[in-house]
Amino acid sequence: MIITATYSISAQNKGDSYIGGMLGAGISSSFIHGMNNSTTSTINASASFEFGYFIANKLKLGAEASYGFSADSFNIHALTIGPNITYYARLTDNIFYTPSLTVCFAMAAAVGETIPGFGIGINLFALEFRPTKRLGFTASVASMSYTELFDYEATSTFGVNLGVNPTIGFKYYF
């Protein structure tokens, strides 16, 4: 037990880095402003790859690329890439509370049209379990995001998403 706790402490130090991935699925409620103002509920799925580097003790800067699919009337496919920042707060020897902020470039495709844009996401309900020095398991319950798409045919298109989007993932520290 003491050895595991010592490993967990050392994994949050400046200069440590990791790679990892996450899978998620959920139900979201979105408000979309554009040509047709609407509120929709969708079922979605996502997969992402991430690299992170601790720039200070307990503070990680990372880059993430993810693919997502939303099953609604448009069946939207989205690809996002961008930086994120996460704070690690110790709850127990091996469990950390990990809220994060993400800013990303986005490409969305629906009904044969591809639209570029950007997004901002906040994840306040995330935990990481670290059983060893090199391995971490993550879980997130809910997230909020804002997306602005540059749809040239519409005067303005943006969406706000709030949903229960549970994700699970892994991290390998080196």
What single-letter DSSP state applies at residue 130? -
Task: Please give the model's pTM, rounded to 2 decimal places.
Answer: 0.77
- pLDDT for residue 36: 57
Helix ranges, the chain (H): 2-10
The domain total for the chain is: 1
What single-letter DSSP state applies at residue 1? -
- pLDDT for residue 8: 42
- pLDDT for residue 11: 47
HSE value, Cβ hemisphere, 13 Å, CA-based, for 12: 21
- For each of the chain's 174 residues, which pLDDT tens digit applies? 344 443 444 446 777 899 999 988 877 666 555 555 666 667 778 899 999 999 999 999 999 999 988 776 667 788 999 999 999 999 999 999 999 999 999 888 877 788 888 888 888 889 999 999 899 999 988 777 777 777 655 544 455 555 566 788 999 998
- pLDDT for residue 34: 54
CA distance 37 to 154: 11
- pLDDT for residue 32: 58
Domain range for residue 86? 2-173
CATH number at residue 136: 2.40.160.20
- pLDDT for residue 145: 77
What burial class does residue 166 get, using C-beta atoms within 10 Å of its C-beta: 0-12 exposed, 13-18 middle, 19+ buried? Answer: middle
- pLDDT for residue 4: 41
